[in-house]
Structure 1
Amino acid sequence: MKKLVLMLGLPFLFLSCNDDDKEVVPPPQMELNDQFNGDKRGWTAGFSDYPVKMESDWKLEEGIANLPAPLDTQKKGFRISGNNHSDDLFMYFKKKVSGLKPNREYNAAFTLEFASDAPSEGWAGVGGAPNAVSVGIGVVPVEPKTTVDNLDHYRMNIDKIQQKNDGKDMKVIGDIGNGTDKVGYKLLTKTGEFKGKTDANGNLWLIFGTDSGFEATTTLYYTSVKVKLTEVTPAK
């Protein structure tokens, strides 16, 4: 009888061990759908490529605001604005994503929706036309930060886009031209994909933004950003 009781108890012992040892495996995909209709949804705005202590002269501004006319002014967006004096102002947004597999490569498919008033053709400007502002996306394992270089200018700690040129950590997916030859805000959609690796804790940082070749004021309203992260299967 003792032998029978012992044998009956074994399956429950194995089941108990399996439950305790069960490992939580991060999903191979993760999707973000952030609508900027009332708050920043965990995104942080920043600026780079301008002299130290010149924020007021460059009129650097960011925050949630109502959309401008002729768009629906009852709706909101994440507004970012700057007056580019150096032909090179970088305005960006970043967000940390956690819960992914550590030290793995992920493909990030971005869909950005934003409002721009820059004509696509027929206009010229100082340093470049109003639409000479490139849109870029990126994925990095470290937090993108604005740092100060030895010339007292703010620079990024990652290899970002440089106007129309890709960087190691970002790539260009278009410009801010509104698709017309007239000044006026239009909603635009830009899409693109970029691959990046997570850190040892399964974290990565998403970044998108604009690099300007137009030496005047650019003001954009981002209404949404969608990102689909898919684990890249290693080649066999």
Structure 2
Amino acid sequence: MLRNYLPFISLVFVLLSGCKKTDKPQVVPVMSVNDSFESAVSGWTADFADYPAGEETKFQLQQGYATLPAPLDASKGGFRISGMNRSDDLFMFFRKKLTGLLPNKVYQMDLEVTFATAVPSGRAGAGGAPGESVYLKAGMMPLEPQKVLNQQTGYYRMNIDKANQAVDGKDMQVIGNVTNGTTTEEYRLVKRLGSFSGSTNSKGEIWLCIGTDSGFEAMTTLYYTQVKAILYE
């Protein structure tokens, strides 16, 4: 009986082999990023936007290296970024400049961000959910992403187009939220993945920016532990 099927099996194998030949050629990475914040923060800087100038203390804005909270391994650390959202739109971000690329060229990036969060899924909160309404965004752009003061409103805003909360901007897009994937309020390490494109400047530089855009009107505290990325032409 098996002999009757052998010609058919061979034909299927040939067809499948032929299909493989039509696949797109493998894309070769031009640069990779693998930054761990386990023992220190190097090459990355953090800041905040979408809040009134001079209200840093009221918004409890904090950033820097810190050991991981229980029940995580306290012998390791992360890039801790924390803030009290009193403006209904607090943006907490960190960034890094990548160099040595071709000038004025569009690159693709596959990104993986690992961070510790204690926010359970499905919780309600003021202004929005503490997990699902805090949107993680990422993107690449040719200029340094930074806050600038709007003289008319007195608020710090970003000099790039990140849009607001759940909406994708030209320079940054939503790649997830800050829930820990459980119904328990305790710190867990989670990963978020994203793919997007961005252009270098005339010097062959590009900035990678990652941040949270919050609709939850209370405290959000995250510990970023690792950023991995691959750039393609």
Query: For the Cα contact (< 8 Å) 2:29–2:230, is it kept in 1?
Result: no
Give distance in 2, aligned partners of 1:64 and 1:83.
19
Residue 126 of structure 1 aligns with which residue?
Answer: 126
Structure 1 residue 162: deviation in Å? 1.2
Query: For the Cα contact (< 8 Å) 1:112–1:191, is it kept in 2?
Result: yes
Residue 158 of structure 2 aligns with which residue?
Answer: 156
Query: For the Cα contact (< 8 Å) 1:136–1:161, is it kept in 2?
Result: no
Structure 1 residue 28: deviation in Å? 5.8
Residue 50 of structure 1 aligns with which residue?
Answer: 51
Structure 1 residue 40: deviation in Å? 1.5
Letter in structure 2 aligned against 1:187: L
Residue 13 of structure 1 aligns with which residue?
Answer: none
TM-score (norm 1): 0.84
Residue 204 of structure 2 aligns with which residue?
Answer: 202
TM-score (norm 2): 0.86
**Judging changes above 3 Å, is the alpha-carbon distance between structure 1 residues 185 and 28 closer, same or farther for their aligned structure 2 residues?**
closer
Give distance in 1, aligned partners of 2:182 and 2:215.
19
Alignment of 1:83-122 (within 5 A): 83-121=84-122
Query: For the Cα contact (< 8 Å) 2:40–2:77, is it kept in 1?
Result: no
Query: For the Cα contact (< 8 Å) 1:161–1:211, is it kept in 2?
Result: no
Q: In the comparison of the two structures, how many residue pairs are matched? A: 204
How much identity, in percent, do the aligned residues show?
52
After TM superposition, what 4+ stretches of structure 1 lie above 3 angstroms from structure 2? none
| Among candidates 185, 189, 192, match of residue 190 of structure 1 | 192
Cα deviation per residue 1:122-181 (whole Å; 9 max; x = unaligned)? x21110111110001100001111000121100000001411110000000110011112
Give distance in 1, aligned partners of 2:51 and 2:184.
29
Residue 24 of structure 1 aligns with which residue?
Answer: none
Letter in structure 1 aligned against 2:148: T
The alignment status of 1:138 with 2:148, answered yes or no, reads no
Letter in structure 1 aligned against 2:141: V
The alignment status of 1:221 with 2:223, answered yes or no, reads yes
Cα deviation per residue 1:171-208 (whole Å; 9 max; x = unaligned)? 00110011112211110000111100111111111101
Structure 1 residue 82: deviation in Å? 0.0
Cα deviation per residue 1:3-35 (whole Å; 9 max; x = unaligned)? xxxxxxxxxxxxxxxxxxxxxxxx961001000
The alignment status of 1:76 with 2:95, answered yes or no, reads no
Query: Where does structure 1 lack aligned partners over 5 or more consecutive residues?
Result: 1-26, 232-236
Query: For the Cα contact (< 8 Å) 1:161–1:172, is it kept in 2?
Result: no
Structure 1 residue 41: deviation in Å? 2.0
1:85 aligned counterpart, secondary structure: coil
Give distance in 1, aligned partners of 2:159 and 2:191.
28
Residue 29 of structure 1 aligns with which residue?
Answer: 30
Letter in structure 1 aligned against 2:139: G
Residue 40 of structure 1 aligns with which residue?
Answer: 41
Letter in structure 1 aligned against 2:128: G
Give distance in 1, aligned partners of 2:230 and 2:94.
17
2:139 aligned counterpart, secondary structure: strand
Give distance in 2, aligned partners of 1:53 and 1:108.
36
Q: Which protein is bigger by CA-based radius of gyration?
A: 1
